[in-house]
Amino acid sequence: MSRDRTLKFPWKDEKDFHIIFHDIFPLKALSQKYANFDKLIPNLGKMMSSLRLLKVWTRRSSDSMFSVTYELIKKVTEILQSGSSSDKEVLTDSLSLGLVKIVNAVVDDKQFKNQFNKKKSMTSIASDIGFSVRAVRERNTIAHSQKTPCLRQLIECYKEMYVWTYRTWWLPIQKDLVRDLDTYFEVKAHLEALQPPELKTFESEIENVKSMRVGIF
């Protein structure tokens, strides 16, 4: 899903964006579909700090990207901070509430705002946009049967939603902000962790940028 390029971004400058981008989405924690949350632990402090600025961005922009990212990263930091068995019930309840919010913002919103989606199920819409179908199913379980999924299943959902948010919303913006070859190689490193079709697509785009680099520089 491409973002609306006319969106007024809430950061002060590109540096602002890049700092948050790398703090909440370190390459070492990302793979094609899942995230390795264990590798996020060294970034926990930076992610906690990023939440404050993300909260400001949610107030500056009406785009759901920022509110969803804020809720997602907030819950991921809760997962990273958890450890004792006594906290599992509280964490499970918190992650369940967060999952419902995120799925509603990403999928449910599309179902009601787009007339072509009104006859589609949330699972079908999620599949169309590459969102976590597992998360939608767990959301339906929580909303309709009022059953709380197990903690392990919830964490797996968050891993899928984390990678989807990175690939679908944040990485395209990062690509738009490419201005020099150093940034190009930085972004390319991220893309190499993704599927070949996406890499090839961006490789062709970046070749055009490189061919015009005299004008850029």
Name the burial class of residue 2, with classes exposed (0-12), middle (13-18) and buried (19+) by CB atoms within 10 angstroms of its CB. exposed
Alpha carbons 17 and 23: distance in angstroms, whole number? 10
- Would the CA dihedral through 163, 160, 75, 63 be positive or negative? positive
Residues constituting the chain: 217
Please say whether the beta carbons of 122 and 111 come within 8 A: yes
Q: Cα separation of 67 and 52, whole Å?
A: 12
> Could you tell me if residue 149 is left (phi over 0), alpha (psi between -120 and 50 degrees) or otherwise beta?
beta
| All residues at 6 or more sequence positions from 11 whose CB lies less than 8 Å from its CB, including other chains | 17, 20, 57
First to last CA, the chain: 30
DSSP-assigned states of every residue in 93-110 = HHHHHHHHHHHIIIIIHH
**DSSP per-residue codes, 152-210:** HHHHHHHHHHHHHHIIIIIHHHHHHT--SHHHHHHHHHHHTTS-HHHHHHHHHHHHHHH
What the block records as the tokens of 5 is 């390029």
pLDDT of 114: 59
Domain segments of the chain: what residues?
14-170, 178-217
Write down the pLDDT at residue 12: 79
Parts of the chain with a pLDDT under 50? 1-6, 180-181, 198-200, 209-210, 212-217
Q: What is the pLDDT of residue 100?
A: 95
Per-residue pLDDT at 194: 58
Identify the pLDDT of residue 10.
Answer: 83
Rounded-to-integer distance, Cα 48 and Cα 77, Å: 7
The pLDDT of residue 105: 92
pLDDT given at position 190: 62
d(CA 81, CA 128): 33
The pLDDT value recorded for residue 213 is 41
pLDDT digits (tens, 9 = 90+) for 66-113: 999 999 999 999 999 986 555 888 999 999 999 999 999 998 766 655
